[in-house]
Structure 1
Amino acid sequence: MWELITHPSNYAFSISLSLMFMLGILELMLLIAGGGSQGLLDQFLPDDLSTSPQHADTGMDGSPNLFIQLLDWLYIGRVPLLIWLIIFLTVYGLTGLIAQTVFYQFTSHYFSAWIIAPACLFICMPLVRYSSMLIAKILPKDETTAIFSEELIGRTAVIILGEAKQHSPAQAKVKDQFGQIHYILVEPEDDEIFSQGQSVILSEKTSIGFLAVSV
């Protein structure tokens, strides 16, 4: 076992498990101190992540970018980031060591670190996702901050994609009273054009989005 852990081909996995133990001790110390990892690292997450359409049912269309979708698929933002890192390091380290053990049983050799390290990174991701999903169900839930669409009326939105014309809405983002960002469709209330990057005030809810006026 010690030879498996200390073999140069397995350094990536040994280091991952070592970091996992260190982060686990840190999390335990935070819990003993009456806190926890919630908010410790999560402040570095993108604002869009915690407000993706999968996190809150606001009844509005949204289309976060692929990077945000990937983070959300991995359940980053649904569990404290420090706990997610512990899960990732554990699954990655164990996946690599198990794969190396099986390969060694058949060949008496280990995979090259340049092959097995990136390969296990992709292999372990579904396991990381389902492990995080399980932990997310166990952890206490915060009070919901889901809102009704009409509560956004009167707030300032920013056009982020295309130009908005009457009967031709463009995508915009708006922050609600909880600091969450929502992606909505906006069109002018009057005969004008809203350009990308322009700030507008939401004035009325429509069947597909909102009407807005210039700031």
Structure 2
Amino acid sequence: MWELFIHPSNLIFSVSLSLMVLLGVLECLLLIVGSSSQGFLDQFVPDQLIEAPHSEFDVHVDHDAFVQLLDWLYLGRIPMLVWLIIFLTIYALTGFILQSIFYSFSTHYFPLWIAAPACLILCMPLVRICSASMAKILPKDETTAIHSDELIGRTAIIILGEARLNYPAQARVKDQFGQSHYILVEPEIDIIFAQGQEVLLSERTSMGFRAQAIT
């Protein structure tokens, strides 16, 4: 077993397993002193993976292939530290198992330049399965924060002043969670929105929103 671990052909798998153990020990030590590496690691997750709604069958055409692959691997759906430990563990074990099987038939190991990329490909489905299982177990942070574009299509009411083209007035709108938002609204065309009038938000502007009159 030790020979398998220290053999040059298995160097990258030994490093992966050692790094996984090191991360676990480091996290335990940080937790003892009341800290964590989680926030530091999460900053390396692409913004698209955090902001985009995840779905098993969703294909985000605006993402590049690399981001789609990371999304498929559940990166961004579970804490980065947890995902990294899963990946390092599965990658190392896949490499050791593959090399052990090949050694039992041929009495030598795959060269590192063949084994490393081959195991990277082979381990990806297992990383996805384990990450998906972990995502179901770990508690999720619930939030009612929304992007302002999500208010488009909702009904707002003018609460202060009159809204004219290029001269917005303050309005109140409720989001899908029932929370009130106070925004600036102006009409799409040269009309006037009176105080107390309900309008339909149609698009964002640099100052707030444009809206249509509700007839």
Normalised to the residue count of structure 2, the TM-score between the two structures is 0.65
Mapped pair 1:40 → 2:40: yes
Counting only pairs closer than 5 Å after superposition, residues 113-128 of structure 1 correspond to structure 2 as: 113-128=112-127
Corresponding residue number in structure 2 for 1:20: 20
Largest Rg, 1 or 2: 2
C-alpha distance after superposition, 1:93-121 (max 9, x if no partner): 00000000001111111111110111001
Larger RCO: 1 or 2 (CA < 8 Å, sep 6+): 1
Mapped pair 1:105 → 2:136: no
Counting only pairs closer than 5 Å after superposition, residues 37-116 of structure 1 correspond to structure 2 as: 37-54=37-54, 63-66=61-64, 67-116=66-115
Q: How far is 1:140 from its partner?
A: 1.7
Q: How far is 1:27 from its partner?
A: 2.0
Amino acid aligned to 1:211: E
Say if 2:60 and 2:68, in contact at 8 Å, map to a contact too: no
Corresponding residue number in structure 2 for 1:196: none
Q: How far is 1:35 from its partner?
A: 4.6
Q: Give the Cα–Cα distance (whole angstroms) in 2 for the partners of residues 144 and 151 of structure 1.
A: 15
Counting only pairs closer than 5 Å after superposition, residues 114-153 of structure 1 correspond to structure 2 as: 114-145=113-144, 147=146, 151-153=150-152
Q: How far is 1:213 from its partner?
A: 4.6
Say if 1:88 and 1:128, in contact at 8 Å, map to a contact too: yes
SS at match of 2:39: coil
Of the structure 1 ranges 17-26 and 68-77, higher mean CA displacement relative to structure 2 is found in 68-77
Normalised to the residue count of structure 1, the TM-score between the two structures is 0.65
C-alpha distance after superposition, 1:120-163 (max 9, x if no partner): 01110111111111112221211134649874349xxxxxxxxx
Determine what percentage of the aligned residue pairs are the same residue: 61
Amino acid aligned to 2:113: W
Of the structure 1 ranges 142-151 and 36-45, higher mean CA displacement relative to structure 2 is found in 142-151
Q: Give the Cα–Cα distance (whole angstroms) in 2 for the partners of residues 49 and 98 of structure 1.
A: 32
Q: Give the Cα–Cα distance (whole angstroms) in 2 for the partners of residues 62 and 72 of structure 1.
A: 10
Q: How far is 1:212 from its partner?
A: 4.3
Count of aligned positions: 161
Say if 1:96 and 1:116, in contact at 8 Å, map to a contact too: yes
Amino acid aligned to 1:14: S
Q: Give the Cα–Cα distance (whole angstroms) in 2 for the partners of residues 77 and 143 of structure 1.
A: 15
Corresponding residue number in structure 2 for 1:162: none
SS at match of 2:113: helix
Mapped pair 1:10 → 2:10: yes
Amino acid aligned to 2:63: N
Q: Describe the shift of the 1:145–1:31 C-alpha distance in structure 2 as closer, same or farther (beyond 3 A).
A: farther
Amino acid aligned to 1:42: D
